[in-house]
Each structure stands twice: as structure tokens, then as C-alpha cells.
Amino acid sequence: MQTGNPVSARTPFSVILKGAAGSAVLKGVNLLFGLLATAFLGRVLLPKQYGYYAFASTVVTLLALPVQAGLPQLMTREIAKYQLAGQWGYIRGLLLRANQLVAVLGLVVVAVLVLALPALVHSIPAVDRSTFIWAIVLMPLIALNRLRGGALIGLRKVVLGMLPDNGIRAVLFLLFIGLWYWLLPFNSAIAMALQVAATAIAFVAGAALLMRHLPPQVHGARASFESKAWLASIIPLTLTDALLIFNLQADLLVLGLFRDAADVGVYRAASLVALQVTIGLTVANEVLAPHIARLHQAGDRAGLQALMRQALGWLALSGLVLAGVCMVAGREILVFVFGAAYAGGGTALAILAFGQFITVAAGTGSLLLNMTGHEKDVLRVFAISAVSNVGLNVALVPRFGLVGAAVATTTCQLVTNALLIAYVRRRLGLSFWPSRKA
């Protein structure tokens, strides 16, 4: 076992806030350029063509999960631990195994999708052949980008870990679609092809950043492996990631099965706006992940409790403001951003925004459990949520459409967060909010 001089596990909260500020700037860039790109696509493609693009994006996001196999979170957690202990050989070994696994799984999933494409085009109205082919190309690039990001975040290079996807890809995609629309005919397949181009460039940039910022000791170390331990964690982390994304996308998938592409496009616009309520939580998860792993490894429970409570006050405030805006002026936001054709998603947006606020106010429960080795508990919670989510969507979407999908999703978010809070208290003895006695 290769070791070096261990470093202190506790980082001052002011330092963490500086990292959060950089991450928030990148998230802001991603939000701004993402909304501009989404608004542009929504207006140019109109609901039906945008529905093709949205459905293909949803499917490929889900199918990227078995390819990345839970590795981004595993790499964040394990690299943070190995760096703390100076075990450089294990970092090198983990990077090697992770890339090998993603390459093999990516080839398998791409082959399956290519073979299944004729049946998908024939049976699902929201599937457009050309758009879906480009989405298949996009899938392994998504997985590889997340892999690079997880490794950099584990090294506490949070801003650099987020830069390729949240900065480079987002800016390039908007530039690409704007230039193409100005010069040549435009449709959903072209939009997906340009997403592939932007993501490929972001992948190359992310790989270069990782190679540059790996500690010099890693380059000179001999690769060491904890394959059994990694595999034992990968399985629940993979299933957890799959269930998490499935829970986020189940409503859109069911809409695609029971409703036409136009409804899918309108609901996609509403869900994208509602998702911005969690921007603070997304930043917090990426910034806090390595610190949680290090504090847990060092046995600093008091530091972990203090970190969580300090972070949660900021999270609740950000969620309240953003959710309130969406609930009060949801219809107006959709019309302003996407156009009058999307006005029918206003009620669904208000419901979804409320559910996202509950998720933010409930804190970083799943992150805490995953970063402290309790990923199986997260898997149990998300499995319960997924079953409930599908059942409620199938029951409500055929009759109530967009509103039914939003109600089903929000109900499952309430159940999920209540269960996560209970597991955090049981396994770690932590509470997000101080009791009255305290």
C-alpha cells in the first residue's frame, strides 16, 4: 500500500464557500446558456419537433447511467479518501479500471440501441429516427464527461470538474445552434448532432484538465487495485443513479407513451424551468462531496454535522426564492422563454416547483449516505420511489396529462426525501435542522 503524508480533513467553511462561489458562477453560466438554448429550440422547432429532441435526450440520459456504472460518485468518494491517505497507486488504478469499464459498457449499450431502433421508431410516436441516431452517439460522451468530472471533484478541483459540461459544452451548444439556424435548415436531428459536437469538445477539454491536475505522485505510482471493494460499491451506486434519473424522467417517459410529441415538448419546458429551483442543491452536492468523504474518513462527526447545517440554511433560502417565482409566475415564464405555444404548462410548472423546493429544503441526504458508505440505503429509497413514481404516472397521465405527471412526480419527491432524512438520522446520527432543545 502506498501512502504519503495525510492532510487535515476539515476545511474552513469560508474556503468551501469560495469553492461554492466558483461552482455557482459555472452553474449560472450553464443556466443562462442552457435556458437560451432551450428557448431557442422551443421557439424554432415548435412543440412537436422539440418533443422529438426532448424524448431522445431523456432516453439517452437514462441509458448513459449503466455505461457510467456509478463511477462518478465512486471516484469522487474514493479519490478524496486516497488523496487524504496519500495512496496514489489506488488513484491510478481506479482511473484505469473506470475507463476500461466505461469503454466496454458503452459499446454494448450502443449496439443494443442500434438493433432496437427500428422497433422504437415503429412503436413510440415521440421517436424520430435521425434524432435518435445522434442521441445514441451522444450517450457514451455523456458518461465519459461525468467520469472526468467525478475524478476532478474528488481531487477537490470542483470548478474544473464542472467546467467542461457546465461551461464549455453549454456555451458551444448555443453558438452552434445559432450559427447553423442562421446559415442552414434546422430540425431536431440537427440540434442533437450539434449537441454531440459540443459535448465531444467538452470531453477533450475535461480529459486534458484531469491529466494536468492529477497529483505528480499519481503519474509516478504503480497502479494498485481494490477491485472487489470498488465493485461492491459500484453495483448499488449504479442502480441508485439509474433510479434517481429514472425518477426525474419517469413523467416525461410516460407522457411519451400516452401523449403526443407536442405534450412532451410543453412538459419538458416546464420541467426544465422547475429544475432550476435545485441549482443551489446541485452546486452544494458537487462542492461538499469530497469534504463529506474526508470528514467521515477522519471520524469527525461534529465537523460533518456543522458542515451540513451551515450549508442547509443557504440552500433553503435559494430554493424558497426560486420556487416562489415559478409558482407565482410560471405561465408567464414559459410564455416569455419558450413562446405562447407553451402556456399550457403553467400549472404543471407550479406543482413541479413546489416538489423541487421540498427536495432542496430536505438537504443533501442521498449525498451524505453515498459519501459515507451507505449507498445501499439510498438504493432502497430510490427503488421505492421509482415504483411509486411509475405507478402514479401511469394512473394519472392518461386522464390528467401534464398536471397528472406533475402531481405524481411531486408526491414521490415528498416520500423520497422523508425516507432519506430518516436513514441519515439512523445511520449517521445527524440531523439537518437543530432541534428546539439545541
| pLDDT at residue 92 in the model | 87
Reported as a pLDDT band with limits 50, 70 and 90, residue 437 is very low
Distances 198 to 55, 204, 404 between C-alpha atoms, Å = 19, 10, 35
What are the grid coordinates assigned to 331, written together?
405561465
Is 226's pLDDT higher than 90? no
Q: What angle do CA 160, 84, 150 make, to 5 degrees?
A: 30
- Provide the pLDDT confidence category of residue 432 given band limits of 50, 70 and 90: low
Q: Please check whether residue 86 is in contact with residue 5, taking contact to mean a CB–CB distance below 8 angstroms.
A: yes
pLDDT digits (tens, 9 = 90+) for 167-218: 889 899 999 999 998 888 888 889 999 999 999 999 999 889 988 888 888 8
* Residue 382 and residue 355 in contact, taking contact as beta carbons nearer than 8 Å: no
Q: How much is the pLDDT for 7?
A: 42
Return the minimum-mean-pLDDT range out of 101-105, 286-290, 410-414: 286-290
- Distance, in Å, from the CA atom of 314 to the CA atom of 318, rounded to the nearest integer, reads 6
Give SS3 for 206: helix
Q: Which residue has the higher pLDDT, 203 or 431?
A: 203
The pLDDT of residue 8 is 45
For residue 8, give the C-alpha cell: 487535515
pLDDT confidence of residue 435? 52
Q: Provide the 3-class DSSP secondary structure of residue 69.
A: coil
Averaged over 89-108, what is the pLDDT? 85
**pLDDT, averaged across the chain:** 81
19-52 pLDDT, tens digit each:
556 666 766 677 778 778 878 887 888 777 888 8
pLDDT, residue 232, reads 78
pLDDT(10) > 60:
no
Residue 193: predicted pLDDT: 93
